[in-house]
Amino acid sequence: MALPVRILTAVPICDGHDSAINTINLEFIRHGIEVVYLGYHRSVGDIVRAAIQEDVCAIGISSYNGGHIEFFADVVKQLRKRGADDIKVFGGGGGTITLADAMAMERKGVEKIFFAGTSLDEMADYVREKYGKPRKKRSRAKTRDIELARKLTQIEDRFAKSKRPASKGKIRNPKSAVRNSRVIGFTGPGGAGKTTLIDELVLRFLRQEPKARIAILSHDPSVVGEGALLGDRATMINSQDDRVFMRSMATRGQTGGLSPATEGCLRELIQGGFDYVIIETVGTGQEAMPFQKNGIVDLTVLVMNPDYGARLQLQKIVMLDLADIVVVNKTDQARARAAILEIERRLDQNKRAQQLVASVAKRHRDPGVDELFGLISGKQNVEALAAASAGHGKRRSPRRAPLQRRRRKR
């Protein structure tokens, strides 16, 4: 397959008008472009950091609130300052950007401004033709993020060019004393709140481990030769931190929730010395087992919401047999209490050590997220859980007992 054009789009700080950029994003995707959408109300620092980590070819900014000359120019300036001047900047703003403004912005390094009335096809064609060409020889990376981002791009590009399947066999020994990275896999159906949950966990890592570095590999679906909307960054707030490296990956036709290049990218992150690596899969269905083949994670977390359907559906979800931790998120919903009881009975059938956590990830200081953080970050808890998971018929962790007692009191 041809290497897809990969861009980042965003809306500036103090601008909550995202209907235009969402329409443009969808048109870019239809034209085979991979769009990393950062969301609205984003600062220059957020945009530049994300563009560098994602190693995009260009940044598209939609601005409707004024201040565009200074804002666009500052993005260009910060890219140059950080040694990423090969990432270009374009954008538009309906009727808010005048022809004189556009000329001033182009003098400051902005490549193209689209005006009101420009067709979506014209925008998409420009991006494909302008940024679809191979990059010229790139200058030496000035920062660690740039160097790592380029390596991840090379790994993805190799798979795209050769169409090779993912490598077989274990890429690392989870119990190896040589490495210090802890790898946690998050999977579950779309809409369960995986991204919000991960963002809340990142906040706790940043606060409680001041020197820890966290990496996130976040996946979204795409078809071979087609574009993709890589939108997990748009809901990330706490992860916009210099100690967090996030990379959005399209599946590029591979089923199962991961990209063909996931294992190679994970290897680079482990070698990069990150303390925690979080892998988030595409929203998965009943038979998906994204982390089982090559032992790429130390701990598997399945995130569900209470509205999974009839009780019979629980018997069909394979990950309920395999997950180390099952999180029932959005437990502020009406059906949450019944769902927790049904899922607990389903886990009882497995006769192995599994944790059940109830959470409302969107809630500030949610105790369920605190409990999940303790399970993931507590070394003894994780090792005991992993050891118990290897065998059958062993006693479950007593951490589930308080949940049972609280339910009986109700």
Residues of the chain with pLDDT under 70: 1-2, 163-179, 224-225, 285-288, 292-294, 379-410
Q: Is the pTM of this model over 0.85?
A: yes
Q: Tally the residues of the chain.
A: 410
| Predicted confidence (pLDDT) per residue in 101-143, tens digit | 999 999 999 999 999 899 999 999 999 999 998 887 788 888 9
| CB atoms near residue 103 (< 10 Å) | 10
CA distances from 235 to 165, 279, 321, 322 (A): 31, 16, 29, 28
**Cα–Cα distance between 117 and 78 in angstroms, integer?**
30
Residues 6+ apart with CB under 8 A from 244: 202, 206, 213, 214, 215, 216
Cα separation, 178 vs 153, in Å, equals: 26
What DSSP assignment string belongs to 169-205? S-SS-TT-SS---EEEEEE--TTS-HHHHHHHHHHHH
Cα 28 to chain centroid, rounded: 20
Q: How far, in Å, CA of 258 to CA of 219, rounded? A: 6
- Are domains 6-145 and 182-409 of this chain identical in fold? yes
Answer whether 11's CB lies under 8 Å from 42's CB. Answer: yes
pLDDT tens-digit series, residues 3-40: 889 999 999 998 877 889 999 999 999 999 999 999 99
In eight-state DSSP terms, residue 382 is H
Characterize the bridge pairing of strands 228-230 and 34-37: parallel
Residue tagged 């085979």 (tokens): 32
One-letter amino acid at 15 equals D
Residue 379 identity: K
Closest of 125, 68, 132, 137 to residue 96, by C-alpha = 68
Fold of 182-409: Rossmann fold (3.40.50)
Question: What is the arrangement of strands in the sheet containing 228-230, beginning at the earlier edge strand?
Answer: 112-114, 88-92, 58-62, 6-10, 34-37, 228-230
**Structural contact between residues 11 and 75, judged by C-beta atoms closer than 8 angstroms:** no
Domain boundaries, the chain: 6-145, 182-409
Check residue 14 and give its pLDDT: 85
141 residue type, one letter? A
Residue 219 has a pLDDT of: 95
Burial (Cβ within 10 Å: 0-12, 13-18, ≥19) of residue 388: middle
The contacts of residue 166 (CB under 8 Å, 6+ apart) are 254, 258, 260, 261, 262, 263, 294
Q: Taking Cα atoms as reference points, which of 238, 240, 231 lies closest to residue 199?
A: 238
| Residue 25 structure tokens | 């994003």
Strands annotated E in 11-169: 34-37, 58-62, 88-92, 112-114
Q: Under CATH, domain 6-145 is a member of which superfamily?
A: Cobalamin-binding domain (3.40.50.280)
- According to DSSP, residue 42 is labeled B
Which amino acid is residue 407, in one-letter code? R
Separation of alpha carbons 140 and 267, rounded Å? 22
